[in-house]
Each structure stands twice: as C-alpha cells, then as structure tokens.
Structure 1
C-alpha cells in the first residue's frame, strides 16, 4: 500500500511539472457517467455467483474553474448497485448493496482531450441480506452506514461531446 501511495504521489509531482493542455472539463460542463463493474471486492469462492454486476451512474456539473490555473471542480449525485448469491447444498444467501451519494472531483488537464481527475465519494451504503436453509431457518436483515471512497480517473474525449470513462 505504501509503494502504491508513493507511486501515485510521484506521478502527480512529475505531471505537475509538465505544461498541461487546455481544460476539457470547465465551469458549466455537464457529464453523465454510466459504469459496469468487472469483478467485485466481495469474497470469491466456488459457491457464489454474481446476479447483477456492479452498476453505477452519476452526473457531474462543473462548479468552478481556474483552480491552480487550469484545474476545475465538479460535483454531482452518484448511485450504484450490486447483487450476488451464495449457495451450498440447501443453504442460500443473497446480498445486495445500494450506494446513494455525492461525488466531488478535481480536474486537471495533463494531456490533450484527456480529462484527468481525482475525487471523493461520500454516500450512504444500504446492505440487504436474505438467507434460507432448512425449513426452520429463514433470515432477513439490512444494515446501512456512511461510506466514502477516494478515486482517480480519466475520460478521453474522442469527440468534444463524447468521453470514454475510465476509473480504476
């Protein structure tokens, strides 16, 4: 983890020395993001399978620009959903996660037509579980909590109005 943070910090400082390109995301910009997750951070085994892969959608609006000369800030709502099942013999469990939140991003142009950004997500994670087993065992519960995430990403604009989203 320490090496990863040093790599990210080093990359940021190297790019900070470069002369960035013209901003792609500015005050007043509006971008809709839709994501389809590949894989999941949920445990993996022979007995579980994903029912609905991680899906996400967000809207971002540029609220200010000229931050650190060419940077800008955008904010907007975020929604995500994931569902998976686990089954072994008569025991079955289904888990769902729904995240409702808001994202704030700092955009800084490093390469022409590439909108590079980093940001924070603050949201509410709603977790539901339903377990069934033998005729005497049925269990349903839900738990919710505040969730947050730091992320980096980029959108490459093939044309001025159509970006391709990439967030690790």
Structure 2
C-alpha cells in the first residue's frame, strides 16, 4: 500500500513538471520551489523501544526574494516557510505490565537561505531556520507536551534539476530530521 502511494506521488510530480512552463534551473528572483522531503536521521527518537509510525516528513515552499546577491549572478536569497512532522511509538515495562506511548514531533519554521549555483543544474544553499517545535506524547489516556519551544538551526542543501522544473533535493541540518531527501518542484 505504501509503495503504491509513493509511486502515485512520483507520477504526479513528473506529470506536473512536464505541464509547467520552462524555466532556468538557477534560483532567480520570483522563482517558487516546492520541496517534499523524507527524513533519514530523526532529530527526535530512536534506539531501544522506539519504532517509527510516521517517518519524518517535511514540506517547504521557497520564494526567491533577491538574485545577484553580493553582485554575483550565481548568488541569490530565498525565504521558505517549513513544516515537518514525525510520529513514534515507545514501548516500556516497569514491572507493572507493558505500556505503549505515542510520541509526535511537529516543527514549524522559516528558512532563510543563500543560494549559489556551483554547477549547471545544481542549486546549492546554506541558511538559518527559526522555528517552533512541539514534542508531545500520549500515554494511557494522558496527553503531555514536552521539549516544546523556539529554536534556531543551521542547514545546508542542494537541488539537482533533471529538467527545468523537477529536482532531487537533499538537506542537512535541523528540522524534523537531520538528513532530508526528496523532490523539489519549481512552480
């Protein structure tokens, strides 16, 4: 079932990319890029007793607000609202019987990224994220909020464009995951 959903999403992205107008693969003022990611290294919970119920997922929409940054035609500035979510189960036994706890991690923030085109079709960037993280768990009918609050994080990433609109994306840094892989769609 999950494979069918992933294949359907991939088909939609590829079909949409062929319908959009042709654009340069560089990041220029006025460009909008929609990023979809799946995390491989959780910032939340892993190890003994933890199991992933929803892998770290993220979506952001980056807007190019300035090109020719620092008087360099390959350099630009982008702003990207970001949302990420992950969910985990944790099982433990304190001698009173086994208990399962559901943990959720929700991250909402904004990235500010400086872009530089290192090679044709390769949009690389580094930036700063300001956001709010809500970590909560539900256990035996009780809801708790823990570890929630504002944060500042750093990130680096890149998008390699297969055509003018569709790219593979990779990001390292703070969010709902430390390593994010996915697809980007230039609108």
Q: TM-score, normalised by structure 2?
A: 0.70
- Mapped to 1, the partners of 2:66 and 2:34 lie a distance apart of 18
- Please say which structure displays the higher CA radius of gyration: 1
Alignment of 1:1-150 (within 5 A): 24-68=26-70, 69-70=72-73, 71-89=75-93, 90-132=98-140, 139-143=142-146, 144-150=148-154
Residue 163 of structure 1, aligned match among 156, 160, 167: 167
C-alpha displacement of 1:43: 4.1
User: Any conservation in 2 of the 1:155–1:166 contact (CA below 8 Å)?
Assistant: yes
Q: In the superposition, relative to structure 1, how do residues 36 and 80 fare at CA in structure 2: closer, same or farther (>3 Å)?
A: same
Aligned length: 142
Point out where structure 2 has 5 or more consecutive residues left out of the alignment: 1-23, 173-187
C-alpha displacement of 1:167: 1.2
User: Any conservation in 2 of the 1:23–1:108 contact (CA below 8 Å)?
Assistant: no
Point out where structure 1 has 5 or more consecutive residues left out of the alignment: 1-21, 133-137
User: Any conservation in 1 of the 2:45–2:88 contact (CA below 8 Å)?
Assistant: no
C-alpha displacement of 1:42: 3.2
Q: In the superposition, relative to structure 1, how do residues 27 and 84 fare at CA in structure 2: closer, same or farther (>3 Å)?
A: same
Structure 1 range deviating more: 122-131 or 47-56: 122-131
Residues 95-139 of structure 1: per-residue CA shift (max 9 Å, x gap): 10111111111001111110010011111111111223xxxxx54
